[in-house]
Structure 1
Amino acid sequence: MTLMKTPAALALTGVLALTACETIQDPNNPNRNTQQGALIGAATGIAVGILAGDDPEERRRGALLGAVVGGGGGALIGQRLDQQEVALRQSLGGNVGITNTGSELIVSLPQDILFATDSSTLTGGLQSDLNALANNLNQYPNTTVNVIGHTDNVGDAGYNDGLSTRRATAVANVLLNAGVSSGRINAFGRGEAQPIATNLTDEGRAQNRRVEIVITPI
């Protein structure tokens, strides 16, 4: 029976997921992430509800219940992310990038301001922003926080991996010292493995040297 139910569940999930993508593409929609979260949550709930039933009527009831429960939970997550994003933009400086994907917030800090060349010791450049970020995280405690260091491709790849980890750890320590729970924070480095721009130009390499704080609701 499961094999018969799976295609229907996937089809319904796919339709709602596509609708969610269309919703978030409108940058002028202030509730786009709330709506996207509701649609994705509903899609997941429908799929689970269908797979849980052994007869058509049971599957129908399961799909309806799953849509209601999943949609409500997804909408709440999207709303919380929208609210947290607004608060972050009000408190952080212009050098800090903020991306709201609808399922997580990504705060990007340029390493050239955070650290001197070949160093994992924080400078004073973005200390106030890190403290403001910590305050925001404490105001929105129902999240996990991954602090990820990135480098350009100049130098030895193994050395860059270690440097990116040390830099991520330095940023995480500031957040911990500002009161963010250690149980919420993970720090690790990706070295040169995940560039967001070309490494063939100075400008591109500068963009790739960054620390990202990925905030995910739980």
Structure 2
Amino acid sequence: MKKLVAICLAGAVLAGCQSTNPYTGEQQTAKSTKYAGIGVLAGALVGAAANGKDGALAGAALGGLAGAGYGAYADKQEAALRAELQGTGVQVARYGDDIKLIMPGNITFDSSDAAIKSGFYRVLGSVATVMKQYDENAIVIVGHTDSTGNEQKTNMPLSNERAMSVARYLEGQGVASARITAYGVGSSEPVASNTSPAGREQNRRVEIDLKPVVR
């Protein structure tokens, strides 16, 4: 009975906060609401186990607040990044708590070069602005190459240098260096086939992962 009360509370939160996507017509739930629902369920179960129905209600309230916290924060940060990066060629992706920025090599670096293209400075400046406004993330910058060239002599050093170039620029724009980790992985993590020019172009990229800080 206690578990049933808890599950009903979480279901009520999720059902009450659904909306219709104006582009697809589908029902959708905001990520922050999903986190809140999970928090409600967890809090209610713990509260119910301790104090029955009243404990479930109290636990649900506290769990909902805790669960919604980072989800709501990440929702706002994601929206700010999408607004700043619209039309730039940078892809913004969301995976649970993590926000990933995927920067294709054709707009960030010239071939076999680790110097940031002059036309891309403005885009990285916009990224830095949002990162400073939302400063509760760890920032992981990862450089990638295609499979052309020697992995150890060419690809690994180039991917690392490109990641470091992005890190140095963000630091120069005022993003705290303590938040940033940067490294290269060469061609070891392709997202497309290296057998075609189009596939190799997708693989030549820098990714920035914005992750919750583990305290």
Residues 74-115 of structure 1: CA distance to partner in whole angstroms, max 9, x if unpaired?
312111111111111221243110012231110111112211
- Distance in 1 (CA, whole Å) between partners of 2:194 and 2:59 is 46
TM-score by length of 1: 0.75
1:148: which partner in 2?
142
Residues 147-183 of structure 1: CA distance to partner in whole angstroms, max 9, x if unpaired?
1111111111213122111100000111000000011
- Distance in 1 (CA, whole Å) between partners of 2:189 and 2:34 is 27
Quick check: 1:110 aligned with 2:96? no
Q: How many residues align?
A: 193
Give the 5 Å matches for 1:1-218: 31-41=29-39, 49=46, 57-58=49-50, 68-92=61-85, 93-158=87-152, 159-218=154-213
List gaps (5 residues or longer) in structure 1. 1-7, 51-55
Q: Which deviates further from its counterpart, 97-106 or 64-73?
A: 64-73
**What's the secondary structure of 1:130's corresponding residue?**
helix
TM-score by length of 2: 0.76
Could you tell me how far 1:58 is from its partner in structure 2? 4.1
What CA RMSD, in Å, does the superposition of the two structures yield over aligned residues?
A: 3.0
Q: What one-letter code is carried by the residue in structure 2 that aligns with 1:121?
A: A
Could you tell me how far 1:69 is from its partner in structure 2? 4.1
For the structure 1 residues 57 and 140, does the alpha-carbon distance in structure 2 shift closer, same or farther, using more than 3 Å as the test?
Answer: closer
Could you tell me how far 1:32 is from its partner in structure 2? 2.2
Q: What one-letter code is carried by the residue in structure 1 that aligns with 2:67?
A: G
For the structure 1 residues 142 and 31, does the alpha-carbon distance in structure 2 shift closer, same or farther, using more than 3 Å as the test?
Answer: farther
Residues 175-201 of structure 1: CA distance to partner in whole angstroms, max 9, x if unpaired?
000000011111011211111111121
**What's the secondary structure of 1:196's corresponding residue?**
coil
**What's the secondary structure of 1:88's corresponding residue?**
helix
- Distance in 1 (CA, whole Å) between partners of 2:44 and 2:199 is 43
For the structure 1 residues 123 and 94, does the alpha-carbon distance in structure 2 shift closer, same or farther, using more than 3 Å as the test?
Answer: closer
- Distance in 2 (CA, whole Å) between partners of 1:154 and 1:100 is 30
Q: What one-letter code is carried by the residue in structure 1 that aligns with 2:205?
A: R
Q: Is the 8 A contact 1:36 1:102 kept in 2?
A: no
